[in-house]
Amino acid sequence: MHAIGRRALIVGAGVLSTAPLVGYAQSADRVRRIGFLSSETADSEGGQLAQKLIPEALKQRGWSDGGNLVIEWRWANGKIADLPELAADLVRNKVEIIVARTNFPIQAAMKATQTLPIVMLNGNFPVEMGLIQSLARPGGNVTGTSYWASTEIFAKHFQILKELAPRTDRVAVMLNANVVGRPLDLAILAVHKRATAQLGMTVHYFDYRLPEDVPAMLNAIAASGIKAMFYTADPIVRTRTAELMAFLRDQRMVSVANIPTFAEAGGLAHYSPVGGSFDRTASFVDRILRGAKPSDLPVEEPTNYEFVINLKTARAIGLVIPQSALLRATAVIE
The C-alpha atoms of residue 194 and residue 203 are separated, in whole angstroms, by: 10
At residue 12, the pLDDT reads 35
Alpha helices in 129-261 (DSSP H): 154-164, 183-198, 214-224, 235-238, 241-251
The amino acid occupying position 75 is W
158 and 295 assigned to the same domain: no
134 and 23 assigned to the same domain: yes
- What is the SS3 assignment for 227? coil
78 and 62 assigned to the same domain: yes
Q: What is the pLDDT along the chain (334 residues), one digit of tens a residue?
A: 444 443 333 333 333 334 343 333 444 468 999 999 999 999 988 899 899 999 999 999 999 999 999 999 999 998 999 999 999 999 999 999 999 999 999 999 999 999 999 999 999 889 888 899 999 999 999 999 998 767 888 899 999 999 999 999 999 999 888 776 667 777 888 899 999 999 999 999 999 988 899 999 999 999 999 999 999 877 788 888 889 999 999 999 999 999 888 999 999 999 998 866 899 999 999 999 999 999 999 999 888 889 999 999 999 999 999 999 999 999 999 9
| 37 in Cβ contact with 108 (< 8 Å) | yes
Residues 6+ apart with CB under 8 A from 184: 125, 128, 129, 151
60 and 184 assigned to the same domain: no
The domain that holds 31 is classified in CATH as 3.40.50.2300
87 and 186 assigned to the same domain: no
191 and 244 assigned to the same domain: yes
| 83 in Cβ contact with 118 (< 8 Å) | no
142 and 52 assigned to the same domain: yes
Tell me which residue range forms the domain holding 77. 3-148+276-302
Q: How far is CA 86 from CA 34, 92, 156, 163, in A?
A: 14, 10, 36, 43
How many domains are contained in the chain? 2
| 35 in Cβ contact with 95 (< 8 Å) | yes
119 and 233 assigned to the same domain: no
298 and 268 assigned to the same domain: no
Count of residues making up the chain? 334
At residue 181, the pLDDT reads 63
177 and 313 assigned to the same domain: yes
Angle between helices 277-289 and 45-60 (to 10 degrees): 50
Dihedrals phi, psi of 257, to nearest 5 degrees: -120, 165
- What is the SS3 assignment for 321? coil
53 and 139 assigned to the same domain: yes
The C-alpha atoms of residue 233 and residue 258 are separated, in whole angstroms, by: 6
At residue 4, the pLDDT reads 43
243 and 213 assigned to the same domain: yes
